[in-house]
Structure 1
Amino acid sequence: MTKDANFDPRVPLLLLLSATTGLVDAASVLGLGKVFTANMTGNVVFLGFAVAGAPGFAWPPFVVAIASFLAGALLAGRVAKRHADRSERRWLMIAAVVETTLLWLAAAISLTFGVAAPAGLILFAIIALTGVAMGFRNATIRQLKIPDLTTTVLTLTLTGLVADSVAAGGTNPNARRRIGAVLAIFAGAAIGAVLILRFGLAAPLAVAGALVLFGTMAYFAYPFETPSH
């Protein structure tokens, strides 16, 4: 087997993780009641609506989602510092195990509700578990500093795709990567919606956890070092 110096095995991994973002957001928005656990922009906006008294928006789920996301990011930051001088692959594997465990715990809890929406403390527990998982993910991926692959946010990706295009006078850098990120989250959201509508909240969360774990295991087993950035 020959090594392709231009191939970065982290790119397909992050595209796969982008797809899991769609799965998690499908679960949270459709199954937990208009709350995001992977993307905090929507929660901040919805929290503003709730504070203003807009009908249909209650502030507790958004506060729990934001707080748990921040807790996950804090935990990931501490883990990253402990692994600063160690293998990146080992660090990402630990992050995958943490995220998968949290997502599978959330899936296990939601199994008791079948296709019904959870309520009360169980609802907040699922929001918190998925929020911590995605906060941990975001803080971990941020450390990699791979352009156009945040795995959760597409605003800058779409902006760059158009602003740097040939039509705008640019050279269209990372176009395939940017398009791939958009399609991955779109596909994850569509598949997640089908899963939750047919099988309930546990299905997209369980699938997301499996993809995170086994995708990272495949990256961990890749035989060559990743290119430097």
Structure 2
Amino acid sequence: MSAEETAETDGPEPTRTPGPDPEARGLRLVVVLLALTVVSGLIDAVSYLGLEHVFTANMTGNVVVLGFAAAGAPGFSVSHTLTSLGAFLVGAVAGGRVAVRLGKGSRRTWARLTLAAEAVLVGAASAVAFAAPDATATVYTLIAVTAFAMGLRNATVRKLGVPDLTTTVLTMTLTGLASDSRAAGGTAHHSPRRTASVIAMLAGALLGAWLVLNHGLAIPLLVAAGVVGVLAVMASGRE
């Protein structure tokens, strides 16, 4: 081989333009988690107003409700609350195991699969509410299934680690909103995200309460399942 041919062969390779990042395709996780916060308001409206004063998304409130029920306060049930707490914890264990298996791979795939599972579970709860709205077993089924779904989701959201968006609990969000505000001498850096989270929860609770009071339990659960199903198709892996 001649020197000229060797120079041509050993020359620098052409620069390759990187392709689009597949993780970036779809809705950003911030938007997805805000939409899930709306769903949490819907779910807790169904459980608290329609399932005898039990929460299936907000476990902080549920522990307090358990204390009320144990003290014999009217309108609260120890068995319902324990069912919710137990199912939530089992769902959180399942979410943790999913995170171990999928958390080191594509965030987009992980988020979408978990959201798809939540959509199926909440959709199944809606089907039960449509099929047997007055059956005694329906109350326990709806509590267990929705609480499991919320445990699965909460474990996933915790592992994803997007700041200030827990989707179910607002105590620390409100604390951060106030303590980091300019009035408190802070920078208010995350105020828009925190404010949006509070508004999302309020909007979900308002919509859920209206649907429960006017249309029963099945419709708001169906709406929640539909929203989560759309998010399962559109979520990306970027914050």
Counterpart among 174, 177, 198 of residue 158 in structure 1: 174
Aligned residue pairs total 216
Q: Tell me the TM-score normalised to structure 1 length.
A: 0.89
Q: How far does residue 205 in structure 1 lie from its aligned partner after superposition?
A: 0.9
Counterpart among 74, 88, 104 of residue 85 in structure 1: 104
Q: How far does residue 172 in structure 1 lie from its aligned partner after superposition?
A: 0.4
RMSD between superposed Cα atoms in Å: 1.9
Whether the 8 Å CA contact 2:54–2:76 is kept in 1: the answer is no
Which residue matches 1:68? 87
Which residue matches 1:55? 74
2:116 aligned with 1:100:
no
Give the residue type in structure 2 aligned to 1:177: R
Give matches, 1:14-25, under 5 Å. 14-25=33-44
Classify the secondary structure of the residue corresponding to 2:55: coil
Question: What is the CA deviation profile of residues 11-35 of structure 1, one whole-angstrom value per residue up to 9, with x for unaligned ones?
Answer: 0111000000001011111111100
Classify the secondary structure of the residue corresponding to 2:99: helix
Whether the 8 Å CA contact 1:21–1:188 is kept in 2: the answer is yes
2:40 aligned with 1:28:
no
- Matched residues in 1 for 2:216 and 2:69: separation? 27
Whether the 8 Å CA contact 2:132–2:138 is kept in 1: the answer is no
Deviates more, 1:50-59 or 1:198-207: 50-59
Give the residue type in structure 2 aligned to 1:152: T
Q: How far does residue 119 in structure 1 lie from its aligned partner after superposition?
A: 4.9
- Matched residues in 2 for 1:31 and 1:49: separation? 18
Q: Tell me the TM-score normalised to structure 2 length.
A: 0.86
Q: How far does residue 215 in structure 1 lie from its aligned partner after superposition?
A: 1.9
Classify the secondary structure of the residue corresponding to 2:35: helix
- Matched residues in 1 for 2:75 and 2:238: separation? 47
Which residue matches 2:152? 136
Deviates more, 1:55-64 or 1:136-145: 55-64
Q: How far does residue 85 in structure 1 lie from its aligned partner after superposition?
A: 2.4
Question: What is the CA deviation profile of residues 128-178 of structure 1, one whole-angstrom value per residue up to 9, with x for unaligned ones?
Answer: 000000000100000111111000000000011010000110000111100
Counterpart among 198, 206, 222 of residue 206 in structure 1: 222
Classify the secondary structure of the residue corresponding to 2:139: helix
Whether the 8 Å CA contact 2:113–2:232 is kept in 1: the answer is no
- Matched residues in 2 for 1:46 and 1:94: separation? 32
Which residue matches 2:235? 219
Whether the 8 Å CA contact 1:13–1:216 is kept in 2: the answer is no
Whether the 8 Å CA contact 2:122–2:224 is kept in 1: the answer is yes
Share of identical aligned residues, percent? 48
2:86 aligned with 1:46:
no
Unpaired stretches in structure 1, ≥5 consecutive residues:
none
Larger radius of gyration: 2
- Matched residues in 1 for 2:142 and 2:109: separation? 27
